[in-house]
């Protein structure tokens, strides 16, 4: 297999957590490949390993064994500094709780990853405004999170995730704190982003959210229970 032809390759990945003197296996030899441009939902009950696999794919944690390749690079062997660089440049995160800076306006929240990336002020302003406009918030750039609705706050979080033009958008229960109508608007935005060529991974426990994805990976007890296309059971 040509590693460079895929975005994500997990090869026999295991994750074991040490709880006191007890070893708790969270993932048990998972192998998974995700191509550029795919829209994948990862599902599973509590304790299935979906949060662990999200943390590994997002370079927030490393495997106990096995290999993880992202864009052809073996992430499993990287240092903490290298992982931080990958997170900033290649992965956009969208969380259930938005994780916005409360005292900063929408523009400043979206600009922050660009500061870490080392872009100059002019480029930062251009890119942040462009991305906020793309998610429908061009007229809310000076509003702080407390002045925005839940859906607008999540759109700011999505803009922040997209502003560095990452290889992957990784969302964890992205509609968990939203009402159903606003949640549908966010999922429609995800559909649009996928149509534009973005690679999307959504971690969820809700069937209705997983049905929007083109592919559904179900986990159980740290293993892949099923991997189906178009949400078909």
Helix axes 150-162 and 180-195, enclosed angle (nearest 10): 20
Residue 21 domain flag:
no
Residue 22 domain flag:
no
Beta carbons of 14 and 65 less than 8 angstroms apart: yes
Please name which of 212, 214, 213, 202 lies closest in space to residue 173, comparing C-alpha atoms.
202
- pLDDT of 56 reads 95
In this predicted structure, the answer to whether residue 233 has a pLDDT above a threshold of 50 is no
In this predicted structure, the answer to whether residue 78 has a pLDDT above a threshold of 60 is yes
- pLDDT of 117 reads 87
Burial category of 68 from C-beta neighbours within 10 Å (exposed 0-12, middle 13-18, buried 19 and up):
buried
Q: Taking all residues of the chain, what is their mean pLDDT, rounded to a whole number?
A: 91
Most distant CA pair in the chain, distance: 54
- pLDDT of 158 reads 95
Reduced to 3 states, what is the DSSP secondary structure of residue 60?
coil
Residue 91 domain flag:
yes
Give the phi and the psi of residue 12 in degrees, each rounded to 5.
Answer: 50, 50
In this predicted structure, the answer to whether residue 66 has a pLDDT above a threshold of 70 is yes
Residue 32 domain flag:
no
Residue 168 domain flag:
yes
- pLDDT of 177 reads 85
- Percent of the chain scoring above 70 in pLDDT: 97
Please name which of 157, 151, 150 lies closest in space to residue 104, comparing C-alpha atoms.
157
Please name which of 18, 89, 23 lies closest in space to residue 59, comparing C-alpha atoms.
89
pTM: 0.89
- pLDDT of 203 reads 94
Residue 95 domain flag:
yes
Work out the pLDDT band at 157, boundaries 50, 70, 90. very high
pLDDT tens digit string along 113-126?
A: 999 888 999 999 99
Tell me what the mean pLDDT of segment 162-184 comes to. 90
pLDDT tens digit string along 145-155?
A: 999 999 999 99
Beta carbons of 27 and 52 less than 8 angstroms apart: yes
Work out the pLDDT band at 53, boundaries 50, 70, 90. very high
In this predicted structure, the answer to whether residue 175 has a pLDDT above a threshold of 60 is yes
Give the CATH number, domain containing residue 100: 3.40.50.300
H helix intervals, the chain: 50-57, 80-90, 106-116, 121-134, 150-162, 180-195, 207-210
Residue 15 domain flag:
no
Number of structural domains (the chain) is 1
Reduced to 3 states, what is the DSSP secondary structure of residue 198?
coil
Q: Which residues span the domain enclosing 48?
A: 37-62+75-229
In this predicted structure, the answer to whether residue 3 has a pLDDT above a threshold of 70 is no
Tell me what the mean pLDDT of segment 40-44 comes to. 95
Work out the pLDDT band at 85, boundaries 50, 70, 90. confident
Residue 13 domain flag:
no
In whole angstroms, what is the distance from residue 174 CA to residue 48 CA? Answer: 19
Burial category of 70 from C-beta neighbours within 10 Å (exposed 0-12, middle 13-18, buried 19 and up):
buried
In this predicted structure, the answer to whether residue 189 has a pLDDT above a threshold of 70 is yes
Q: What is the number of residues in the chain?
A: 233
């Amino acid at each position: 297999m040509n590693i460079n032809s895929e975005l994500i390759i997990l090869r026999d990945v295991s994750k074991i957590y040490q709880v006191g003197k007890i070893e708790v296996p969270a993932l048990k030899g998972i192998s998974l490949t995700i191509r550029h441009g795919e829209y994948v939902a990862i599902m599973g009950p509590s304790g299935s390993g979906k949060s662990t696999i999200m943390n590994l794919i997002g370079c927030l944690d490393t495997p106990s064994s096995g290999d993880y390749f992202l864009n052809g690079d073996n992430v499993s062997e990287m240092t903490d500094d290298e992982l931080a660089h990958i997170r900033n440049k290649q992965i956009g995160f969208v969380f259930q709780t938005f994780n916005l800076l409360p005292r900063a306006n929408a523009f400043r929240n979206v600009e922050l990853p660009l500061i870490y990336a080392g872009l100059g002020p002019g480029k930062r302003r251009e890119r942040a405004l462009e991305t906020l406009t793309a998610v429908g918030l061009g007229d809310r750039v000076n509003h702080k999170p407390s002045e925005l609705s839940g859906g607008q706050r999540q759109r700011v979080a999505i803009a922040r995730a997209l502003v560095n033009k990452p290889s992957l958008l990784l969302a964890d229960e992205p509609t968990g704190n939203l009402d159903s109508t606003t949640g549908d608007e966010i999922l429609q935005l995800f559909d649009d982003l996928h149509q534009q060529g973005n690679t999307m991974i959504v971690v969820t426990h809700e069937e209705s959210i997983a049905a929007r994805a083109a592919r559904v990976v179900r986990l159980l007890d740290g293993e892949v229970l099923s991997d189906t296309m178009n949400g078909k059971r």
